[in-house]
Amino acid sequence: MELILLFFIFTLAGFLGFELIAKVPSQLHTPLMSGSNAVSGITIVGAIIAAGADDGSWVTTVLGTAAVTLAMINVIGGYFVTDRMLGMFKKKDGPAKKESSS
């Protein structure tokens, strides 16, 4: 019964997250990505603790290492997306002005 409850909460969180993100204006995506990167940084700390746990189980080490790897990919990808989105707001250089020599 507990597994069904956890699956229900996971599914509900997925639908709620999708609905919230779908209604966010494009001007707010960059701050949200920065917040998402901060949360992923916290995830990395937890994953490092899980990977380094000395409980004698290789499963903990493998899952912790996988969590560290995936969280790092998420953080790095988030910074690339944030950089690209900020680049969209920069002014583009127009054609060079010709100076008239009269």
Q: What percent of the chain has pLDDT over 90?
A: 6
In the chain, the N- to C-terminal Cα span, in Å, equals: 87
What are the C-alpha distances in Å from 61 to residues 33, 54, 66? 29, 9, 9
Parse the chain into domains and list their residue ranges. Answer: 29-88
What are the C-alpha distances in Å from 14 to residues 5, 7, 10, 17, 90? 14, 10, 6, 5, 33
DSSP assignments along 28-88, one per residue: GHHHHHHHHHHHHHHHHHHHHHHHT--SS-HHHHHHHHHHHHHHHHHHHHHHHHHHHHHHH
Residue pLDDT tens, the chain, 102 long: 788 998 999 999 989 888 877 777 766 666 666 677 777 788 888 888 888 877 878 888 888 889 889 888 888 887 887 777 777 777 777 565 555 555
